[in-house]
Amino acid sequence: MSDYVVQPGSEVSGTIRVPGDKSISHRALMLGGIADGVSEVTGFLESEDCLATMKAMRALGVHVDQIGPQAIRVHGVGMRGLKPALHALDMGNSGTAMRLMTGLLSGQPFASELIGDSSLMKRPMERAAKPLRLMGANIETLDGKPPVKVSPSNDLHGIRYELPVASAQVKSSVLLAGLYAKGTTEVIEPAVTRDHTERMLLGFGATVDAAHGHVKLTPPQRLQACSLEVPGDFSSSAFFLVAGSISRGGGLTIQGVGVNPTRTGLLDILALMGADLRVVNHRSAGAEPVADIEVRPAKLKGIHVPEHLVPLAIDEFPALFIAAACAEGETIVTGAEELRVKESDRIAVMADGLKALGIDCDVLPDGMRIRGRPDANVFSGGTIESDGDHRIAMSFTVASLRASGPIEIKDVANVATSFPGFVRIANAAGLRVSERS
Ligand code: S3P
């Protein structure tokens, strides 16, 4: 098991880039795999989660070549060309990969089984299985959790599904099954969630109408391969947006970050807290908007985070809780119960870590209340249990900027699931992280 030891009190400055977007990289492999022709993907995230999806697509008969650093070619086999895998598909730590693959496999004329690591084997899968069964898919879970067994269905049909929770994974799983269904598939979201699937389906030539959280897919005869440029992952940039905001000096520019508005809730939340952020140099990477983000240290103030921003910042709360601890006054997060079913229970695990570093916070059923302390040394040193959650490990690394002693973070190997090179990039920005195994 590897740990980080982070020395306190440094500053962050300079210009950095973060690796490619995880959500988009998963989808590029899946849609590229069932398209006709060869899709070239640049900026592909070579993290453990995306490599698990790559391995699964290969096991289903899709040829994927590495053509350069972060560049791959996916040789699509066409919508009807996938072949049964010889073994269970291991999706590693990735809930996204498992739920999206469940949708994709629901439309195949062969049986499949999906498994994962010890964290993934405990995560809820019925949220995707239920709507897929309404579409006629044959899916079994074990008490609602993996393994997920998908058997062929000869009656897959479109549905109109109102999502009970705002989940891009469930929406995407239903849309992927909808590619193979008779009739149109409609998904209605209770709040807008990331729309990478809809944007990418359009790029592959499918007919998708999406507006105001209502998505309608007409099943295509075929998908046409295309070139995709994956932007930097906004969720990986989040650690540095918080680092730049709470640093005692300096300032950072993060180049080439995906700024799809369904992902950038953290920018709005930090702006409400008084952060000094500028989004510049807007451009596009195919269907996705990209920009550079400049951040400078600022005096943050506590806020009640508007609940409509929660799904737009769902992966950024561990980092945001660190910013909240450095803000003047109280920060309250509510309406965020989904945080309890991520790679860890991010409410409980973050609260334990914050308390271990001397922060006064209360756990709420659906969020947290944090009493910030805008002192130079907000955090004491101490030991953090990350519960194997990559985003918790990276968030507490950033806390070192305002700590009075070293922070030891346990069980950090899963940082490689989303952010290969994190230690190198963090140290280049000025943090003082060392990893030991
Ligand atoms: C993701 C959707 C979100 C997010 C996850 C990636 C996706 O999950 O937390 O990291 O790529 O669709 P939910 O749909 O469960 O909110």
Q: What is the pLDDT of residues 95-130, one digit of tens each?
A: 999 999 999 999 999 999 999 999 999 999 999 999
Closest Cα to atom 15 of ligand 1:
167
E strand or H helix at 13: strand 12-17
Give the number of residues written for the chain: 437
Which pLDDT score is estimated for 336?
A: 98
Q: Is 242 helix (H, G, I), strand (E, B) or coil?
A: helix
Q: How far is residue 335's CA from residue 311's CA, in Å, rounded to a whole number?
A: 9
Which pLDDT score is estimated for 157?
A: 98
pLDDT band at 376 (very low <50, low <70, confident <90, very high): confident
Q: How far is the CA of 201 from the centre of ligand 1 (A)?
A: 17
Residue labelled with tokens 């490689």: 416
Q: Is the Cα dihedral 410, 413, 419, 424 positive or negative?
A: positive
Q: In this prediction, what percent of the chain has a pLDDT beyond 90?
A: 98
Does ligand 1 have an atom closer than 6 angstroms to the CB of 172? yes
The one-letter amino acid at 209: D
Q: How far is residue 369's CA from residue 347's CA, in Å, rounded to a whole number?
A: 10
| Angle, CA of 410, 415 and 421, to the nearest 5° | 120
Does ligand 1 have an atom closer than 6 angstroms to the CB of 314? yes
Index of the ligand 1 atom closest to the CA of residue 127: 15
Closest Cα to atom 10 of ligand 1:
315
Index of the ligand 1 atom closest to the CA of residue 342: 9
pLDDT, average across residues 176-183? 98
Which pLDDT score is estimated for 386?
A: 98
E strand or H helix at 129: helix 126-134
Does ligand 1 have an atom closer than 6 angstroms to the CB of 315? yes
Candidate from 23, 101, 309, 418 with most ligand 1 atoms within 8 A of CB, to mutate: 23
**CB-based contact 11:249 (threshold 8 Å):** yes
Neighbours of 346 (CB within 10 A): 25
Which pLDDT score is estimated for 1?
A: 85
Q: How far is the CA of 167 from the centre of ligand 1 (A)?
A: 6
Q: How far is the CA of 99 from the centre of ligand 1 (A)?
A: 10
Nearest residue to 342 (alpha-carbon basis) of 411, 414, 435: 414
Does ligand 1 have an atom closer than 6 angstroms to the CB of 123? no
Q: How far is the CA of 339 from the centre of ligand 1 (A)?
A: 11
Neighbours of 186 (CB within 10 A): 18
Nearest residue to 87 (alpha-carbon basis) of 64, 65, 58, 51: 58
pLDDT, average across residues 235-258? 98
Q: How far is the CA of 427 from the centre of ligand 1 (A)?
A: 28
Does ligand 1 have an atom closer than 6 angstroms to the CB of 418? no
Query: CB within 8 A of 141, min separation 6: which ones?
Result: 125, 126, 129, 147, 148, 149
pLDDT band at 50 (very low <50, low <70, confident <90, very high): very high
Which pLDDT score is estimated for 322?
A: 98
Nearest residue to 258 (alpha-carbon basis) of 14, 416, 27: 27
Does ligand 1 have an atom closer than 6 angstroms to the CB of 338? yes
Candidate from 27, 96, 195, 418 with most ligand 1 atoms within 8 A of CB, to mutate: 96
Q: Write the DSSP symbol of residue 206.
A: -
Q: How far is the CA of 168 from the centre of ligand 1 (A)?
A: 5
Which pLDDT score is estimated for 327?
A: 98
Index of the ligand 1 atom closest to the CA of residue 23: 11
**CB-based contact 271:321 (threshold 8 Å):** no
Q: How far is residue 92's CA from residue 120's CA, in Å, rounded to a whole number?
A: 7
Q: Is the Cα dihedral 357, 361, 362, 363 positive or negative?
A: negative
Strand 407-410 versus strand 207-211 pairing type: unpaired
Q: How far is the CA of 166 from the centre of ligand 1 (A)?
A: 10
Which pLDDT score is estimated for 69?
A: 96
E strand or H helix at 89: strand 89-90
Q: Is 81 helix (H, G, I), strand (E, B) or coil?
A: coil
Q: Is 407 helix (H, G, I), strand (E, B) or coil?
A: strand
Per-residue pLDDT tens digits for 287-331: 999 999 999 999 999 999 999 999 999 999 999 999 999 999 999
Which pLDDT score is estimated for 124?
A: 98
Does ligand 1 have an atom closer than 6 angstroms to the CB of 337? no
Strand 360-364 versus strand 367-372 pairing type: antiparallel
Which pLDDT score is estimated for 10?
A: 86
Whether the full predicted model's pTM is greater than 0.75, yes or no, is yes
Which pLDDT score is estimated for 49?
A: 98
DSSP secondary structure, 267-326, as one string: HHHHHHTT-EEEEEEEEEETTEEEEEEEEE----B--B--GGGSGGGTT-HHHHHHHHHT
Q: How far is residue 116's CA from residue 2's CA, in Å, rounded to a whole number?
A: 20
pLDDT band at 234 (very low <50, low <70, confident <90, very high): very high
Q: How far is residue 317's CA from residue 366's CA, in Å, rounded to a whole number?
A: 12
Per the DSSP assignment, residues forming a β-bridge with 5 are 408, 434
Is pLDDT above 90 for 9? Answer: no
Does ligand 1 have an atom closer than 6 angstroms to the CB of 169? yes
Nearest residue to 123 (alpha-carbon basis) of 387, 388, 345: 345
Is pLDDT above 90 for 229? Answer: yes
Closest Cα to atom 11 of ligand 1:
23
Catalytic residue list: 315
Interior/surface letters 276-290, b for 16+ CB within 10 angstroms, e for the rest? bbeeeeeeebbbbbb
Q: How far is the CA of 431 from the centre of ligand 1 (A)?
A: 28
Index of the ligand 1 atom closest to the CA of residue 315: 9
Nearest residue to 57 (alpha-carbon basis) of 37, 81, 36: 81
Q: Which parts of 172-245 are beta strand (E)?
A: 185-188, 207-211, 214-218, 228-229
Does ligand 1 have an atom closer than 6 angstroms to the CB of 235? no
